[in-house]
Structure 1
């Protein structure tokens, strides 16, 4: 099973090729903008390194969010274009799924995992995973310190808001550990996509997953309406 994965959901671009459970090639670059220019050559580079062209893949996948509007659209447009041209399935992977999949198997098997993404408005976007689960308990939620859901045991935190949420949970008496998994990677997304392609986790369309409306600032002097 050969899968090309791309991601630009947060402040990093990445691409990877997975073949029968083994990552053959991967690239990543921290970038807050310019995803649309960075991703195509990155995807071509990993295909070249893996010695395969798009027509020999079994699927293409992209991280669908939650995340930044522009980055999500860039990754999805690229993945959908490659998949359409090669007549391949195009699969979605959530940001939380990609982050959780990057943790060591021992942590995921024994602890709840919370993916927490800073929404830059004093709150976080939360995806929760039960111990041993590869897919989240439900859709992403936007929460603040006052409305965090209860945790029945230790929690491993992934995502860029992990230190903040660790402090919130500690104040509530919950044992929470902020891991060093802060940004999603295409390599981890490819592993989730392989499970999805095999029917081991629920299907997810390669469509943007927005939890909040994009923040839009009207130009100065713009007329209201």
Structure 2
């Protein structure tokens, strides 16, 4: 059974989780969209200590690579890459949408496509689409204005921090759109995706930042 440490800081929170086989051994989480770089290392240390495992015993380290916030993604990836290098194990990437979709009950995913929608804070949503029953995305994430959202071919479940707004807009167009409780990615769900990726059940994904659009930067005055 693979022992995987997963880290997430893509949106308004951060978390660390340790997974062995199907069992989540320990989890730590904190809300907020700041301070991820300071919070993640002690979280990772805490889950390893709680489970009585050493970093050198890991089979892989995973991190949520985006879409999401520039600073949080970089913080999670830097820590994941350092731990993976120290353990001599692979660093595995997990997209924000994969982590959000994996948190849904399998029976819900079996009957509906899943749309992961992240608010880019600039008037658009970052959309990842998954067919019913699958965690293999239909193409790369894309930036879409809410008014220009495509029409799903059938029932859809919405996940992500923009899910409420998108669900309302789709419902107004007569779409069977289910608003789920999966609003922020979590390290435990990311670890499950990473385990599938490590086993070859999902295509490989490098632990590198996934930016749909250039990071928003403010030039000095």
Say yes or no: TM over 0.5: yes
Aligned partner of residue 204 in structure 1, secondary structure: coil
Asked whether 1:113 is paired with 2:114, we answer: yes
From the CA coordinates, give the structure whose radius of gyration is larger.
1
1:33-72 matches, within 5 Å, as: 33-72=34-73
Note if 1:27 corresponds to 2:28: yes
Q: Quick one: distance in 2 between partners of 1:146 and 1:95?
A: 22
Q: Which runs of 5+ in 2 are unaligned?
A: none
What is the Cα deviation at residue 145 of structure 1? Answer: 2.5
Which stretch has the larger CA shift, 208-217 or 75-84? Answer: 208-217
CA positional deviation for 1:146: 2.9
Local SS of the residue matching 2:207: coil
Establish whether residue 79 from structure 1 lines up as the match of residue 80 from structure 2.
yes
| Aligned partner of residue 129 in structure 2, secondary structure | strand
CA RMSD of aligned residues (A): 0.8
**Which residue does 2:130 correspond to in 1?**
129
* Residues in 2 aligned to 1:122 and 1:177: alpha-carbon distance in whole angstroms: 22
TM-score by length of 1: 0.96
Q: Secondary structure at the match of 2:9?
A: strand
Q: CA deviation at 1:182?
A: 0.5
Report the equivalent of 1:102: 103
State the 4+ residue runs in structure 1 displaced beyond 2 angstroms: none
Q: How far apart are residue 109 of structure 1 and its match?
A: 1.0
Number of matched residues?
220
Determine the structure 2 residue equivalent to 1:223: none
Answering whether residue 194 of structure 2 is matched by residue 212 of structure 1, we say: no
